[in-house]
Amino acid sequence: MMERLPGLLAKLARRLPTDRLTDYDAALRAAEGPEDQALDQFAAANPAAGLTHHLDAIRQAWREEAPGLPGTAIALALTTAMAPEASETERSIQLVVSGPVSPAIPVRLTGGVTVDVIRSARESLLIASFAAFGVIELVSELRLAVGRGVRVDLVLEESTAAARAFTTLQNGVRIWHRVNASAPGVLHAKLIAADRHTALLGSANLTDHALGMNIELGVILSDPLTVGRIVDHFRWLTSPEAGVLRLVWTT
């Protein structure tokens, strides 16, 4: 009978983002065998979609096919299985969700990713949202970003009064609205772009429910060429010659 363990490890290596693979590698290396309680603790501490499901399957195959192998050997097999032929595009796109998670595909959670992207900025942050409400943690992160010299542009829909969520911010922040708020259509884009290297695109508005409880879906882009084009598009939207967005607040 064909062994399942190598196939499970290869499948995991193809589907998980690099940071998740690093977490798995560390957990497996710390385990003496498939019954090690350290693996139970790892699964409990990492409830993101896919982790427990994949780990359970690997542990079951491990105990059935190679129970004498230590965790270091399984970790080595996982590292070997990491597909070197995987394209840079595949590695530069990761899925993000809010709300319920499933074992169908490994993802990261929107609230945590939002903070990570903001913290990764060193020069500029470009943020667009249809609505904004609450998000105290996000506002605090933006304040810290401004403090380290990051220029922040908030492109917001005026009809939802989204700008009110950011009234406590000072210095280094600019807020943009559509030139004609009464014209048909709305600003519906949701974007957080750090410098020109990372962008979060998705369905989630900047609200506590959207970042944590709603059923939302998005992607993280880590391809500087693609992110740069997105940033350039929004810079054009804010330019006087475009006549699309107007500056309504600068500090």
Per-residue pLDDT reduced to its tens digit, 66-111: 889 999 999 888 888 765 544 454 556 888 899 887 766 667 889 9
Residue 107: Cβ within 10 Å count: 22
Q: What does the pLDDT read at residue 45?
A: 80
For residue 128 the two structure tokens come to: 């667009």
This prediction has a pTM of 0.67
Distance CA 8, CA 11 (A): 5
Helices (H), 103-246: 110-120, 136-147, 208-212, 224-237
Residue 121: Cβ within 10 Å count: 23
Distance CA 126, CA 164 (A): 17
- Name residue, tokens 């595009």: 89
The percent of residues in the chain predicted with pLDDT above 90, rounded, is 57
Protein fold of 91-250: Endonuclease; Chain A (3.30.870)
Domain ranges of the chain: 5-82, 91-250
Average pLDDT over residues 109-129: 94
Phi-psi region of 165 (alpha: psi -120 to 50; beta: other; left: phi over 0): alpha
Question: pLDDT digit string (tens) for 147-161?
Answer: 999 999 999 999 999
Residue 56's pLDDT band (boundaries 50, 70, 90)?
A: confident
